[in-house]
Structure 1
Amino acid sequence: MSSLVPAHQHPLLYAIFVRVWLHELSRAAKARVTLASVPDAALDRLAALGVDYVHLMGVWTLGEEGRRRSLTDPDLRAEYDRVLPDWTEADVAGSPFAVARYEVNPAFGGDAGLADLRRRLAARGIGIILDFVPNHVARDHHWVAEKPELFIAGDDGAPLSGRDPYIPPWPDTAQLDYRLAATRAASVEALRGVASRCDGVRCDMAMLVLDDVFRRTWSKRPPTERKAEATGEFWAEAIDAVRRDHPSFVFIAEAFWDLEWRLQMLGFDYTFDKSLYDRLSHASASSVRGHLAATPDYQRRSVRFIEHHDEPRIAAVLPPDRRRAAEFIAATVPGMRFIHHGQLEGRTVRASLHLARAPEEPVDQACLAFHERLLAAVRRPILRTGSFATLTARGPGADAFVAYRWEPLPACGAPRSAAPLVAVINFAPSRSGCRIPLDIAGIAGRKVLLADLMTGNEHPRDGDELVDLSRGLGVELPAYGIHLFEIRR
């Protein structure tokens, strides 16, 4: 099965924590729901939102060792008390990133259940993204007993825990040794097995297995003697191996430390854009503008998000006006647009990665209505295939604004039928105004109508004024106010 979205488009990815999602669906249905029995209504809703890919996080089989550690860790138990006060031991499942086998959890319906869900989603034009965790496996993964030579061992001979060089080790995992050719070969085969079940993968902490990063992290633990060492980069080898069988397979890297561009050059279609998340959450309009000045190819390959499973719920940390502005920008700039399950409804409690359910929360109807308007706008083809450029605001309040436009980019000789879009955001905590000259071809010498897709308001304007560098589009917006103008002749 090939990728469902052409590479030049800017797809919408909807991320779901599978065990929590199935629990919610089971509670609503008053019966056990597996991947094979997800109601059609739930899939139809994803299609109606314009979703291109669903990231099903945590489908793989976990081990008992991980669950045991999740039950006994005092810090985790304190987390459970905080996020799910009525939790019981039956709710504890273990981390989805301590994988014991790359086989779908039997409790979710196994590989057959996933295949059935994939077929039903594909009928709606939606592909499936699954997790691949390259750096480590569960401590009771079958390789620990079958292939102990693949791991970095401690002084006692047992595998060391997987780690990131900047944070404490993950005690429920066993660290693979990517300096060894045999480890890389085994990981490539595991990845090929994952690829046979889905349309793409999200590679957890992908930068950890870059050759120089890995060797630096484990420099005090030399590789096993008399074992052939690997050369080159694992990701180049792995991506080529998968794409020999699946040419349109999508690779997404979770990445940090300014290594995103390097991973893109190794073949990743998309890399997580944590920098934009940080700027939208904590920084100013000028910081956001600076980030959006990156090269078009880098932006097109970036995953734009404002919350995900490792970050707090955005509704819990930002006031509604700034949250809406941040979510609007993340959804309307180039790249893969990322929505986290529960974000649309304004949930405030981040689910624990170690629990099988999350607390029930009421739907924030205003938040849901905003997202439905936003995603309706994002479905416009011009936001998938158009030409993006930032715009420069002028005037005393200009520094508060982020502005950009999308223009049609038709094939040679094709008519320019799609209306351009102009996004204007006052990304500041007070009311402000500015003027923005629009470098949009075809509006000079004409009367145009600015139709705001977020409010429904319409504003007639003179095209000559809009393109004039000394005049431009005049706007005044409240704190974190938004315009998304469709320019109609």
Structure 2
Amino acid sequence: MNYWDSSLRSARVNELLKVAKYSDYIRCDMAFLALNDVMGQNWGSQLSFWGYSRPSTEFWSDAIRTVKQQYNVLFLAEVYNPNQQRMIDVGFDFVYEKTLYDHLAGGNLDDIRGYITGTSLNFHQHGAHFVENHDEPRAASFFGSAIRADAANAVSMTLPGLRFYFMGQENGDKNKLDVHLRRGTPEPVNTGVNAYYNVLWKALSLDITKYGSWNYRNAQGTGDSWRFLTWEWVYNGHKVLAVINYSDGEGAAYVVCPLAQPENGNDTINLTELLTGTVYPRSAKQMSSQGLMVVLGAWSVQMFQYN
């Protein structure tokens, strides 16, 4: 499609308006191909020969603005490096976070940690985080085991941004769902994976993990601390600390929680582990200085809520 043609642009905006009438979200397949720069790179010589010139505005900027003037709808762009930030700039609410997915697939914790801490909070907030979708393999198959896929999912879904799931993911499905057939091979539900998703979704439904501020926390103090990814959500004085052992071995570490404070002069505060319901009484002073000690098995996740 020639997005340098004004009549084509108008027709496509009209199509988006029809979709927006019935939708909360609009996912735009390979959306970056409509950018003026990309159109120019791919088709510039032909378009020039046919008498077209580069438009003064981006199609997506005009289209999204027009649609949002009439409908309260959000836009998700399928896009890959180096055009992710550009799609945010032209008005998309969320963009595919394929770079994080690739790092999780690679499994190098230094790369994962470096990417998460080196990426701006604004970009995280606009990222659509996923471990599978219609193009990618099933997570339970691709990551080598259901437990590692669940750990990768915990990393993705406890970051700021859009939590982007695919049908059957919560059941541990391994057979790819072919979008052209619109059906997949039937398979039994993995009850362990399903139970994990149910408790994780409950934790992610809290106001803290939906509306709170997000801060990276360092795991330290032991030879195993490299195994951990840790961060904390804070909202209205409530906190949730997410701890993920994203490795194939058990590990222990200390996580400093600088916001831990005694309650009514009592140094002991209760931490509720959201995935099991277990309550751990701990010293607020120790948590904010030496750190909270955590011990997790391979590919394991804990989420601690405290005030």
Say whether the fold is shared (TM-score over 0.5): yes
Task: Kindly provide the amino acid, as one letter, of the partner of residue 460 in structure 1.
Answer: P
- The change in CA–CA distance for 1:226 and 1:477 in structure 2 (over 3 A counts) is closer
Corresponding residue for 1:485? 304
Corresponding residue for 1:340? 166
1:226 CA displacement: 4.7
CA contact (8 A) 2:227 2:247 kept: yes
| Structure 1: unaligned runs, 5 residues or longer | 1-175, 411-415
1:179 CA displacement: 2.1
Q: In 2, Cα distance between the equivalents of 1:327 and 1:344?
A: 10
- The change in CA–CA distance for 1:436 and 1:214 in structure 2 (over 3 A counts) is same
Task: Kindly provide the amino acid, as one letter, of the partner of residue 242 in structure 2.
Answer: A
Q: In 2, Cα distance between the equivalents of 1:443 and 1:300?
A: 31
Q: In 2, Cα distance between the equivalents of 1:465 and 1:227?
A: 67
Match of 1:394 among 204, 215, 220: 220
Corresponding residue for 2:277? 456
Task: Kindly provide the amino acid, as one letter, of the partner of residue 178 in structure 2.
Answer: S
Corresponding residue for 1:16? none
Q: In 1, Cα distance between the equivalents of 2:92 and 2:260?
A: 34
CA contact (8 A) 1:202 1:253 kept: yes
Q: In 1, Cα distance between the equivalents of 2:167 and 2:96?
A: 17
Corresponding residue for 1:117? none
Q: In 2, Cα distance between the equivalents of 1:434 and 1:237?
A: 50
CA contact (8 A) 2:260 2:287 kept: no
Question: Which stretch of the first structure deviates more once superposed, 191-200 or 321-330?
Answer: 191-200
- The change in CA–CA distance for 1:433 and 1:228 in structure 2 (over 3 A counts) is closer
Query: Are 1:262 and 2:86 an aligned pair?
Result: yes
Query: Are 1:317 and 2:138 an aligned pair?
Result: no
Q: Secondary structure at the match of 2:164?
A: strand
CA contact (8 A) 1:273 1:304 kept: yes
Q: In 1, Cα distance between the equivalents of 2:49 and 2:187?
A: 51
**Which of structures 1 and 2 has the bigger CA Rg?**
1
Q: Secondary structure at the match of 1:339?
A: coil
Q: In 1, Cα distance between the equivalents of 2:39 and 2:217?
A: 41
Corresponding residue for 2:211? 385
Q: Secondary structure at the match of 1:430?
A: coil
1:351 CA displacement: 1.6
Query: Are 1:207 and 2:32 an aligned pair?
Result: yes
Root mean square deviation, CA, Å: 1.8
Match of 2:291 among 472, 475, 479: 472
Query: Are 1:331 and 2:157 an aligned pair?
Result: yes
Provide Cα deviations, 1:70-94, integer angstroms capped at 9, x if missing partner. Answer: xxxxxxxxxxxxxxxxxxxxxxxxx
CA contact (8 A) 2:40 2:54 kept: no
Question: Which stretch of the first structure deviates more once superposed, 183-192 or 206-215?
Answer: 183-192
Corresponding residue for 2:200? 374
Q: Secondary structure at the match of 1:257?
A: coil
Q: Secondary structure at the match of 2:69?
A: helix
1:224 CA displacement: 6.0
Query: Are 1:354 and 2:180 an aligned pair?
Result: yes
The higher relative CO (CA closer than 8 Å, separation ≥ 6) is in 1
Match of 1:222 among 34, 47, 50: 47
1:377 CA displacement: 0.9
Q: In 1, Cα distance between the equivalents of 2:175 and 2:122?
A: 35
Corresponding residue for 1:4? none
CA contact (8 A) 2:25 2:75 kept: yes
Provide Cα deviations, 1:369-414, integer angstroms capped at 9, x if missing partner. Answer: 1111111111111111111100011122222110000111x4xxxx
TM-score by length of 2: 0.93
Match of 1:406 among 197, 210, 233: 233
1:244 CA displacement: 1.8
- The change in CA–CA distance for 1:187 and 1:404 in structure 2 (over 3 A counts) is same
CA contact (8 A) 1:270 1:303 kept: yes
CA contact (8 A) 2:260 2:285 kept: no
CA contact (8 A) 2:272 2:306 kept: yes
Runs (4 or more) in structure 1 with deviation over 4 Å come to 226-229
| Structure 2: unaligned runs, 5 residues or longer | none
Query: Are 1:291 and 2:115 an aligned pair?
Result: yes
In percent, how many aligned pairs have the same letter? 30
**How many positions carry a matched residue from both structures?**
302
Corresponding residue for 1:438? 257
